[in-house]
Amino acid sequence: MPLDRKIAYIDLTTGDIQTKPIPLDVRKKFLGGRGLDAYLLYNHTEKGCDPLGPKNTLMVSGGILTATCASATARTHIMAKSPLTGLLGSANMGGFFAPEMAWAGFHHLVIKGKAKHPVYIYIHNGEVEIRDARDIWGKSVTDSQWAIREDLGDQEVKSLVCGPAGENLVRFANVMTGIKNSGGRSGMGCVLGSKNLKAVAVRGTMDIKIARPKEALEYNKRFIDQIVSAKVNQTQGALGTPFIWGATNSWGGVRCRNFQYNQCEYADDIEPERIDEICEETMGKYHMTGCFGCQVHCRAQYKIPSGPYAGTYDEGPEYTSQGAFGGETDTPRAITVLTGNHLVNKFGMDNLETGSLISWAMELYELGIITSKETDGIDLKFGNDDAVIEMIDRICFRKGWLGDTLADGGIAASEKIGKNSFNYLIQVKGMSNLHSDERATPALALNIATGSRGSDHLRSRPAIDLYHLPEEVLRKIYSNPVPYDGPLSSEHTEYIGKPWQVFWQENCYMGVDCLGICKYHTTFLGATLPNFEDWSKVLYYNTGLEMNPEEIWDVAVRCNMIERLFNLREGLAREDLKKGDMLNHRYFDEPCRRGAIDVVGRKIDKKKFIQMIDEFYEHKGLDNNGIPKPETLKKLGLKNEPSHLV
């Protein structure tokens, strides 16, 4: 049964390994995946610990539905205190790792301490061991995975690894699996590197008994039909996530030249159709692939067609790489985007953070805040493709003053650079923004300001707010599974009703992260895709656990609250520009300069925005300082945390 998958507690300092079952009452409170990881983080990580020290605890998990008959349950979650922000560190990725770990007998790993030399953890059918990785240390993301397979003599082993960026303690290093599945954002690869932990490798052949297999298969068929019939998923299956770029850039919703413009001009070479053309030219007609149990196949395969890396295979690029290495740096050339995407995959480094920091440094260079002395001679001007590629390498290997400085993240870099540089850093809670521009979309601006791990498009983003759905459709979505009779608006530039939409989406995304389902299979980009009512049934058919939609909602609210409790313990303060729920001043002071008629001239009204935060806090059960009210904690069963139940 899925409910019999265990937790392994692994101490890298002592070598001690313990395995324990997950009590049913804990499952009912937190389900699994990200939600249970948040509980474990709050209970097993000391207040104020050094994120790069042995007392920082690292969680690796799959959702409660991982490797069952449920569709698209391939997500792996990684959590620790972030070395980038000093707050919650959390990353989520697809691929095949989490299902393999479930077949090996485990849903959760709790990793403490620091090994004396590079090691990797190997998990196989209920057994856990710590193995020597000194011969693997220094290898790239893909080479590391092949080396582990050779070491174990099994080509079916799936590994989660840190690349050279993690080893070099780049504070936004990713955890990676496969070619490009990235546990990005917040520096979880850096945590692996700090522990001398090169990888976690898994191989499992243990059965997972499905509670009601006939019903599970029949319902999943309905699930699949619903997913593959959605136009958004059909488009993704043809073009991948780059399709988002085409619509967003033409409208005027992306950052260009850091935050100076909201549209990248002359960008035909990185439009989704052009990227798809290159993928087909280099890999053939059937160049789309996907994760375990997924029918959408949104990931493209390509070979770099020219330049120093010509012929090199990789996967992607995602929408995020188009923005990071095309839009923000004003280098909208396919070769630059594909090469940049390849390098961050190879090194294990967050594309969003990398591109944002390079574009920030370019604006500082343009303003004279940094000069050729700090760049070690690189002409770091916008539009310089060679400079973008060179800086990716320099950041990963901490080469030169600027490479080393940027590798520590934006806030630390701004403190080192000084000269008002922080004012130009587009970040929330120390994490750089996605390349999107939310000045025309107050709901999305609220989403990035209040995200639990920092500026975030995957924690509470009401992306369907851009669809101008009729109010009756919005009410049907946002009044399920709990009633809501407050205001809603179909207008994306409006402020009213948006706090509830952000709150609802926050709980929707926590729900799928607890279950282990991909966000593209819920109400993220598709308004008609599955959510709470469907999850209740798919959970029951696969695991036997009976929870109605309202109870799953309560789990999501509880798990989001424990993430906030962790952040508050580590210094979160409402309007702190470095550790709070607040946007960079440019959102309020500088209007959009390009784009459609409903975008040009837009900026966020700060007074209304603060009122939105107040309303959002009220929905969450927080006081005006963003602190949970006693009655909220009592209602959620969190007043005695940390409780150390597992």
Lowest mean pLDDT among 85-99, 231-245, 505-519: 231-245
Tens digits of residue pLDDT in 24-38: 999 999 999 999 999
Q: What's the one-letter identity of residue 508? A: C
Rounded to an integer, what distance in angstroms lies between the CA atom of residue 209 and that of residue 201? 23
- Is residue 2 predicted with pLDDT exceeding 90? no
Q: Kindly state the average pLDDT of the residues 435-444.
A: 97
Same domain? For 93 and 61 the reply is: yes
Residue among 87, 91, 89, 186 nearest 579 (CA)? 87
Rounded to an integer, what distance in angstroms lies between the CA atom of residue 428 and that of residue 422? 12
Q: How confident is the prediction for the chain on average, in pLDDT? A: 97
Same domain? For 597 and 469 the reply is: yes
Query: For residue 119, what is the enclosing H or E element?
Result: strand 119-124
Asked if 261 and 252 touch (Cβ cutoff 8 Å), the reply is no
SS3 state of residue 129: strand
Tens digits of residue pLDDT in 365-377: 999 999 999 999 9
Looking at the domain assignment, is residue 556 inside a domain?
Answer: yes
Q: Is 472 exposed, middle or buried (0-12, 13-18, 19+ CB in 10 A)?
A: exposed
Looking at the domain assignment, is residue 214 inside a domain?
Answer: no
| Cα 228 to chain centroid, rounded | 23
| Cα 398 to chain centroid, rounded | 24
Rounded to an integer, what distance in angstroms lies between the CA atom of residue 605 and that of residue 404? 37
**Confidence band for 362, pLDDT divided at 50, 70 and 90:** very high
Question: Which residues are 124's β-sheet partners?
Answer: 127, 203
Contact partners, residue 640, CB within 8 Å, separation at least 6: none
Rounded to an integer, what distance in angstroms lies between the CA atom of residue 496 and that of residue 464? 16
Same domain? For 510 and 545 the reply is: yes
Rounded to an integer, what distance in angstroms lies between the CA atom of residue 438 and that of residue 254? 8
Q: Kindly state the average pLDDT of the residues 321-350.
A: 98
Q: Which residue has the higher pLDDT, 306 or 246?
A: 306
Q: Is 136 exposed, middle or buried (0-12, 13-18, 19+ CB in 10 A)?
A: buried
Residue 437 is predicted with a pLDDT of: 97
- Is residue 402 predicted with pLDDT exceeding 90? yes
Q: Kindly state the average pLDDT of the residues 171-182.
A: 97
CATH code: domain of residue 290 = 1.10.569.10
385-396 helix and 334-347 helix, angle to the nearest 10 degrees: 0
Q: Kindly state the average pLDDT of the residues 40-61.
A: 98
The tokens describing 186, both together, are: 């917040």
**Confidence band for 359, pLDDT divided at 50, 70 and 90:** very high
Same domain? For 572 and 612 the reply is: yes
Asked if 539 and 547 touch (Cβ cutoff 8 Å), the reply is yes
Rounded to an integer, what distance in angstroms lies between the CA atom of residue 192 and that of residue 429? 22
Q: Please identify, among 432, 450, 475, the residue that sits at the C-terminal boundary of a domain.
A: 432
Q: What's the one-letter identity of residue 639? A: K
Asked if 186 and 91 touch (Cβ cutoff 8 Å), the reply is yes
- Is residue 1 predicted with pLDDT exceeding 80? no
Residue among 145, 188, 169 nearest 37 (CA)? 188
Asked if 550 and 482 touch (Cβ cutoff 8 Å), the reply is yes
Report in angstroms the alpha-carbon separations of 468 from 441, 473, 601: 12, 10, 20
Looking at the domain assignment, is residue 229 inside a domain?
Answer: no
Q: Please identify, among 432, 457, 486, the residue that sits at the C-terminal boundary of a domain.
A: 432
498-515 helix and 33-44 helix, angle to the nearest 10 degrees: 90
Number of domains in the chain: 3
Dihedral pair phi/psi, residue 267, rounded to 5°: -110, 25
Same domain? For 453 and 421 the reply is: no
CATH code: domain of residue 10 = 3.60.9.10
Rounded to an integer, what distance in angstroms lies between the CA atom of residue 124 and that of residue 276? 39
The tokens describing 627, both together, are: 């602190």
Reported in sequence order, the residue ranges of 217-327 that DSSP labels E, i.e. its strands, are: 288-289, 299-303, 313-315
Q: Please identify, among 399, 432, 465, the residue that sits at the C-terminal boundary of a domain.
A: 432
Q: What's the one-letter identity of residue 229? A: S
Looking at the domain assignment, is residue 210 inside a domain?
Answer: no
Tens digits of residue pLDDT in 514-572: 999 999 999 999 998 999 999 999 999 999 999 999 999 999 999 999 999 999 999 99
Contact partners, residue 437, CB within 8 Å, separation at least 6: 252, 253, 254, 255, 259, 262, 592
Same domain? For 448 and 588 the reply is: yes
The DSSP output letter for 109 is E
Same domain? For 274 and 400 the reply is: yes
Rounded to an integer, what distance in angstroms lies between the CA atom of residue 80 and that of residue 351? 20
Dihedral pair phi/psi, residue 19, rounded to 5°: -125, 140
Question: Which residues are 158's β-sheet partners?
Answer: 202
SS3 state of residue 182: strand
Rounded to an integer, what distance in angstroms lies between the CA atom of residue 126 and that of residue 237? 36
| Burial readout 185-196 (b: 16 or more C-beta within 10 A, e: otherwise) | bbbbbbbbbbbb
Residue among 546, 444, 555 nearest 510 (CA)? 555
Q: Is the pTM above the cut of 0.85?
A: yes
Residue 118 is predicted with a pLDDT of: 98
Same domain? For 278 and 180 the reply is: no
Q: What's the one-letter identity of residue 559? A: C
Asked if 140 and 347 touch (Cβ cutoff 8 Å), the reply is yes
Report in angstroms the alpha-carbon separations of 97 from 123, 176, 274, 572: 11, 10, 31, 33
Rounded to an integer, what distance in angstroms lies between the CA atom of residue 354 and that of residue 612? 30
The tokens describing 351, both together, are: 């594309």
Same domain? For 326 and 198 the reply is: no
**Confidence band for 85, pLDDT divided at 50, 70 and 90:** very high
**Confidence band for 246, pLDDT divided at 50, 70 and 90:** confident
Looking at the domain assignment, is residue 608 inside a domain?
Answer: yes
Asked if 113 and 58 touch (Cβ cutoff 8 Å), the reply is no
CATH code: domain of residue 508 = 1.10.599.10
Same domain? For 388 and 461 the reply is: no
Looking at the domain assignment, is residue 421 inside a domain?
Answer: yes
Asked if 245 and 308 touch (Cβ cutoff 8 Å), the reply is no
385-396 helix and 351-367 helix, angle to the nearest 10 degrees: 120
Tens digits of residue pLDDT in 449-483: 999 999 999 999 999 999 999 999 999 999 999 99
| Burial readout 474-493 (b: 16 or more C-beta within 10 A, e: otherwise) | bbebbebbeebeeebbeebe
Write out the residue range of the structural domain in which residue 152 sits. 2-203
Reduced to 3 DSSP states, what percent helix, strand and coil does the chain have, rounded to the nearest 5?
40, 15, 45
- Is residue 419 predicted with pLDDT exceeding 90? yes
Same domain? For 427 and 447 the reply is: no
Same domain? For 427 and 479 the reply is: no
Half-sphere exposure of 37 (CA within 13 A, CB side): 30
Residue 81 is predicted with a pLDDT of: 98
Q: In what order do the strands lie in the sheet with 158-162?
A: 127-132, 119-124, 197-203, 158-162, 175-177, 181-183
Residue 274 is predicted with a pLDDT of: 96
Looking at the domain assignment, is residue 232 inside a domain?
Answer: no
Rounded to an integer, what distance in angstroms lies between the CA atom of residue 467 and that of residue 138? 46
The tokens describing 265, both together, are: 């001009």
Q: Kindly state the average pLDDT of the residues 258-275.
A: 97
Asked if 104 and 6 touch (Cβ cutoff 8 Å), the reply is no
Q: Is 280 exposed, middle or buried (0-12, 13-18, 19+ CB in 10 A)?
A: middle
Rounded to an integer, what distance in angstroms lies between the CA atom of residue 40 and that of residue 112? 12
Rg, C-alpha atoms of the chain: 23
Looking at the domain assignment, is residue 643 inside a domain?
Answer: no
Task: Say how many C-beta atoms besides its own lie within 10 A of residue 469's C-beta.
Answer: 16
